[in-house]
Structure 1
Amino acid sequence: MSGYLVTGATGFVGGALTLELLEHTDAPVHLLVRAGGSAAADRCRSALQAAAESYGLERDFVHRHRDRIRVVSGDLTDAHVAEHLPSRGITDVWHCAASLKFGNRNRDEIFAVNVDGTARLLDLSEKIGVTRFNYVSTAYVAGDAVGRIEESAVPLDANSTNQYELSKIVAERVVSKRDSMSTCIWRPSVVVGHSRTLATTSFTGLYGMVREGLRFKRRAEILLGAPLALPRVHIVADPAAETNLIPIDIMVQQAVSLSTRPGFDAKIVHLTNASAPLVGDLLSVVAAAAGIRGLDYVDSPDGFTAIERRFHKTMQFYGQHAGATKSFAQDVADQYGSAIHFPMDVEYLRSLVGWYVDHAGLADLTKAARLPRTVFH
């Protein structure tokens, strides 16, 4: 009988993946959780319960599957963690735990977690006889490449845009060089809230951009000494480019569905959206939340006003992929007839952002521009 080991189960992707494995397989799921202020098992089950309720699962979902959830306290720096795992029976590992920091000043920490931690988990997996090692990377190992992005190893001359992406490139190479077990690298794009409830347990990625947009509004109002109500603002971006967002539930459904197909042996898989929304639609929603009535798209920040320079600086990191479309191939999914297409129109994006604003304590920053809240069915 198969069994799973998941890292990062208290996080966004790892938690949703754990729920998906519980719902669509019958195997035990071992969860490697770092010791913390409260007991690891209690903290993990609380996180899973909160995620299950947020995603519309039954209130007793986690309780019903309690006998299959086996929490192991420890981390990958613990030389004795293998002693707390069964010596046999774990066939598949899903490595979701990662540092999401990206700045140069955090490089050592990022690489210690994302590269060294992955190598240690590979060693542990060999020790306990794992059959398949699933590594959750990111589609943005593509760096500054544009156009069609293949499901293949990243070229050695690829230009990453931050330390997080670089650490994932290096970790992918570490994974792909192991030949003692089957390996698969899974590359999600920008993961957002649940497709129907809109809920998320992580406020990074898209939500970081929204948060910074709202903080821009507050700073600009302090600078102006009055409520911000700008008719139009120039911004450097291509409104016709795509920004690849994928709901958390659709992403993990695809991963588990493909991985459990008989004979599945793919080495690299994109978990991306072939019907991704447009940069212009997303930025219009963020701008409205920030009190900006409209955007004019330009190729250069030359001639920007002081307010526009401030907005450009605020959006610069989050907008680094807004200049051209990355078309992520889904050849593996196409092979099984299950490529992901999830259209997101402006109304959907408003609701997605609106959920975040309401649940992240930011509603007071949008008094003049309330965003509608819709649950999609």
Structure 2
Amino acid sequence: MSSDSGHTQSAPPRTLLTGFPGFLGSALIKRLLDRGDGPIACLVQSQYREQAQRRAAQLTEDGEEIQLYEGDITEPDIGLGDAFDSLTSVTELYHLAAVYDLAVDASLAEAVNVGGTEHVLDVAETLEVERFHYVSTCYVSGRYDGLFTGSDLQEGQSFNNHYERTKFEAEVAVQERMAEGLPATIYRPAIVVGDSESGETRKYDGPYYMLRLLLAQPVACSVLTSIPGASDAELNVVPRDYVVDGIAHLSDHEDTIGEVYQLCDPGPLSVPAFVDALADAAGHRVVSVPGPKSAMKSLLNTLEAGGLPAESATLDYLDHPTRYACPKTTAAFAGTDIECPPFETYVDELVDFVRENPDIRDQAMQ
């Protein structure tokens, strides 16, 4: 075991979290510490240790409330070895670590998203935790044709990519353990973008390919692809702060055990309206070039090979047949100020952040 900056740990950890110092994990851990859920043991891959140390130092003053453990969820006992014995004090486990990459290959997605989740579930049962919190995704729906809620999962759906398929298989594994008695709560965010107030994000993927491709072109005439079915599809996007607020609230209540909550936008924009909102915020005049999906994917692959910000896998979300609803989540947030803001109210912040921070990568770490 190793703790951040080499500090001696003054108290045993109460909470274990995977996915630090990732995009959601870094924001969520601050909320957990503020409400007294520390010390928090964070599982960190060795290549992210220095980044995790810097992030932990930003979040805490004494360096003892965040304790870093080097490990790997793809290994049994999440790669902790003898250090595992020091986690017997843990009563809550938050599992956020995953490969978030639409173009991820099958073997990596299966090792991390499926095998890794199985290993973390084994740890939860070994530690006999009082709560297990799992961050899934609305897109376990795959290409389900219709309305998909938190009550839906195994509907015979097909999948856009290995990311969706393996997150589906991981949630199936979590729900099977829940059925066997694991006290767990599942959170399904839609497509997560930056903070609604600052625009901050750590990774440019998903809708950011569309935005960055737009910004790379002339203001007077920017070309984006369009495919059949896009006018009928919705793009369900949520800002990070809404997701973190939602998980922080739901995880703090015992009556959420055994439930699945979708953290989606109850009033999402259609794909054409989403493109219009991006174009307006960027101040660009956009011309949509329609064509078959296969041809448009080939075009984006060519643009990517030429160094432009393009990812052909994102096209599958422009004719996505699924609509998402979150009645259970809305009911749980009644009486609070937690609600998903309309995309039009924060798109300016997202665009400004991308313009001011052009060098953020699209690496597949959460």
Same fold by TM-score, threshold 0.5 exceeded? yes
Cα distance, 1:266 vs. partner? 3.6
**Could you say which residue in structure 2 is the equivalent of 1:47?**
55
Q: Distance in 1 between matches of 2:224 and 2:240?
A: 32
**In structure 2, the residue corresponding to 1:318 is in which secondary structure?**
helix
Cα distance, 1:134 vs. partner? 1.6
Unaligned runs of 5+ in 2: 1-11, 361-366
**In structure 1, the residue corresponding to 2:265 is in which secondary structure?**
coil
Q: Distance in 1 between matches of 2:283 and 2:289?
A: 17
Q: 1:300 to 1:43 in 2, by over 3 A?
A: closer
Any conservation in 1 of the 2:24–2:240 contact (CA below 8 Å)? yes
**In structure 1, the residue corresponding to 2:68 is in which secondary structure?**
strand
Identity of aligned residues (%): 25
Task: Answer yes or no: is 1:160 the counterpart of 2:171.
Answer: no
CA deviation map 1:238-275 (0-9, x unaligned): 35643211111110110110111133224311111223
**In structure 1, the residue corresponding to 2:111 is in which secondary structure?**
helix
**In structure 1, the residue corresponding to 2:46 is in which secondary structure?**
coil
**In structure 1, the residue corresponding to 2:187 is in which secondary structure?**
strand
**Could you say which residue in structure 2 is the equivalent of 1:222?**
none
Any conservation in 1 of the 2:238–2:340 contact (CA below 8 Å)? no
Q: How does 1:270-309 map to 2 (within 5 A)?
A: 270-284=262-276, 286=278, 293-296=285-288
Q: How does 1:284-363 map to 2 (within 5 A)?
A: 284=276, 286=278, 293-296=285-288, 314=310, 316-323=312-319, 326-336=322-332, 337=334, 340-345=339-344, 348-361=346-359
Q: 1:131 to 1:321 in 2, by over 3 A?
A: same
**In structure 1, the residue corresponding to 2:343 is in which secondary structure?**
coil
Q: Distance in 1 between matches of 2:62 and 2:319?
A: 45
**Could you say which residue in structure 1 is the equivalent of 2:35?**
24
**Could you say which residue in structure 2 is the equivalent of 1:75?**
72
Q: Distance in 2 between matches of 1:320 and 1:197?
A: 28
Q: How does 1:81-100 map to 2 (within 5 A)?
A: 81=80, 83-85=82-84, 86-100=86-100
**In structure 2, the residue corresponding to 1:320 is in which secondary structure?**
helix
**Could you say which residue in structure 2 is the equivalent of 1:14?**
25
**Could you say which residue in structure 1 is the equivalent of 2:260?**
268
Any conservation in 2 of the 1:19–1:48 contact (CA below 8 Å)? no
**Could you say which residue in structure 2 is the equivalent of 1:62?**
59
Q: Distance in 1 between matches of 2:209 and 2:293?
A: 22
**Could you say which residue in structure 2 is the equivalent of 1:368?**
none
Worse-matched range after superposition: 162-171 or 65-74: 65-74
Unaligned runs of 5+ in 1: 50-60, 218-226, 363-377
Q: Distance in 2 between matches of 1:298 and 1:327?
A: 23
Q: 1:17 to 1:238 in 2, by over 3 A?
A: same
Q: Distance in 2 between matches of 1:8 and 1:301?
A: 34
Worse-matched range after superposition: 72-81 or 197-206: 72-81
CA deviation map 1:88-127 (0-9, x unaligned): 32111111111123337x1111100111111111112222
**In structure 1, the residue corresponding to 2:234 is in which secondary structure?**
coil
**Could you say which residue in structure 2 is the equivalent of 1:56?**
none
* Counterpart AA for 1:342: P
Q: 1:35 to 1:309 in 2, by over 3 A?
A: closer
- TM-score, normalised to structure 2's length? 0.78
Any conservation in 2 of the 1:212–1:315 contact (CA below 8 Å)? no
Q: Distance in 2 between matches of 1:112 and 1:99?
A: 10
**Could you say which residue in structure 2 is the equivalent of 1:206?**
207
Q: How does 1:184-223 map to 2 (within 5 A)?
A: 184-214=185-215, 217=217
* Counterpart AA for 1:117: G
* Counterpart AA for 2:353: W
**Could you say which residue in structure 2 is the equivalent of 1:183?**
184
* Counterpart AA for 2:129: V
CA deviation map 1:309-340 (0-9, x unaligned): 978x9575323223367432223223322673
Number of matched residues? 335
Q: 1:66 to 1:245 in 2, by over 3 A?
A: same
Q: Distance in 1 between matches of 2:30 and 2:265?
A: 21
**Could you say which residue in structure 2 is the equivalent of 1:174?**
173
Task: Answer yes or no: is 1:35 the counterpart of 2:43.
Answer: no
Match of 1:257 among 249, 252, 266: 249
Q: Distance in 2 between matches of 1:83 and 1:6?
A: 18
**Could you say which residue in structure 2 is the equivalent of 1:52?**
none
**In structure 2, the residue corresponding to 1:36 is in which secondary structure?**
helix
- TM-score, normalised to structure 1's length? 0.76
Task: Answer yes or no: is 1:235 the counterpart of 2:226.
Answer: yes
Q: 1:261 to 1:291 in 2, by over 3 A?
A: closer
Q: Distance in 1 between matches of 2:264 and 2:317?
A: 15
Cα distance, 1:352 vs. partner? 0.9
Q: 1:27 to 1:231 in 2, by over 3 A?
A: closer
Q: Distance in 1 between matches of 2:282 and 2:146?
A: 31
**In structure 1, the residue corresponding to 2:342 is in which secondary structure?**
coil
Q: Distance in 1 between matches of 2:128 and 2:31?
A: 24
**In structure 2, the residue corresponding to 1:319 is in which secondary structure?**
helix
* Counterpart AA for 2:111: A
Cα distance, 1:152 vs. partner? 2.4
Cα distance, 1:187 vs. partner? 0.8
